[in-house]
Amino acid sequence: MRHELFRELQELRRRREPVALVTDLRDGAQALFVPGKGGLPGTLALSDEQSAAIAGMLHQSVSGPLDEILFVRSYAAPWTLLVVGAVHIAQFLAPMARLAGFDVTLIDPRRAFAAEHRFPGLDLIVGWPDEVMEQTAPPTRQTAVVTLAHDPKIDDPALFAALRSPAFYVGALGSARSHAKRVERLTAAGFGPADIARIAAPIGLDLGGRAPAEIAVSVLAEVVGARYGRQRVPR
């Protein structure tokens, strides 16, 4: 690999952007591919059809041969966790999720809650979650969304946006009784049974703990399980 290409690849990975290294198996020519930007520094020209196929492979985090001519090495976007509601549970969940390898973003329209001194060193966005997820942090197939505000005015818009996305996990804090009312609101908003069934509620594994830190552990455990394809055990 040429030094210039290697440096560009390392920089993209440092910024945690999705990128594919594409190699022509016939002559060893290489190029970098980033969705929406096409080919980056390299010696390999890609057709529109090849670019579309590579974008699909990268989106699914798949590496391998393409058309028996190219080899694609995918460096997919990182796993992310969007936490809606900068509450006490989130103060434990966010740093633990970072240790587990997730990029974490906390979203809350209440500036007093989404304060730097409460979440030092973490990404905070003061805004309505549906607007944030539509404009700034759209969920992908590698995104988990958890709503912890326990306030329908904040949680429901987040769930609307999450259920319209390919997020691999959607969870909501609240009791079974609270979730029953939530289901009524979602149904009235036009979501069907299959959509609503995507929501893990009550959120987290049933570990028996009630303290904020214990709930955070149960939520993270369930998210990690979903990441690896584990089926949720209904509560």
**Distance (Å, whole) CA 233 – CA 174:** 17
Domain boundary among 16, 51, 75: 75
Q: Are residues 196 and 158 in the same domain?
A: yes
Let me know if residue 37 belongs to a domain. Answer: yes
| pLDDT at residue 186, as a whole number | 97
pLDDT of residue 23: 92
Confidence at residue 77, expressed as pLDDT on a 0 to 100 scale: 77
DSSP output for 130-181: HHHHHHT----TTEEEEE-S--HHHHHHHHHHHHTS--SEEEE-S-HHHHHH
C-alpha 81/C-alpha 104 separation (Å) is 5
User: Both 103 and 51 in a single domain?
Assistant: no
Amino acid at 125: I
Both 46 and 120 in one domain: the answer is no
Domain assignment present for 233: no
118 within some domain? yes
Q: Are residues 216 and 192 part of one domain?
A: yes
**Same-domain pairing of 46 and 92:** no
Together in a domain, 194 and 120? yes
Shared domain for 68 and 99, answered yes or no, is: no
pLDDT for the residue numbered 40: 55
Residue 176 falls inside a structural domain: yes
In a domain, 235, yes or no: no
**Structural domain boundaries, residue 51:** 3-75
Q: Same domain for 161 and 190?
A: yes
* Same-domain check for residues 29 and 136: no
Residues 64 and 46 in one domain: yes
**pLDDT per residue rounded down to tens, the chain (235 residues):** 677 888 888 888 777 678 999 999 988 888 899 887 755 555 577 788 888 899 888 877 899 999 889 999 998 878 999 999 999 999 999 999 999 999 999 999 999 999 999 999 899 999 999 999 998 888 888 899 999 999 999 999 999 999 999 999 999 999 999 999 999 999 999 999 999 999 999 999 999 999 999 999 999 999 999 998 888 777 6
CA distance 19 to 40: 10
pLDDT at 152: 96
Buried b (16+ CB within 10 A) or exposed e, 128-142: bbbebbeeebebbeb
Q: Kindly state whether residues 39 and 152 are assigned to the same domain.
A: no
Number of domains in the chain: 2
Note the pLDDT of residue 190: 96
Q: What is the pLDDT of residue 38?
A: 57
**Among candidate residues 46, 75, 104, the one where a domain is terminated:** 75
Choose among 137, 144, 146, 186: nearest CA to 167: 144
pTM (predicted TM-score): 0.73
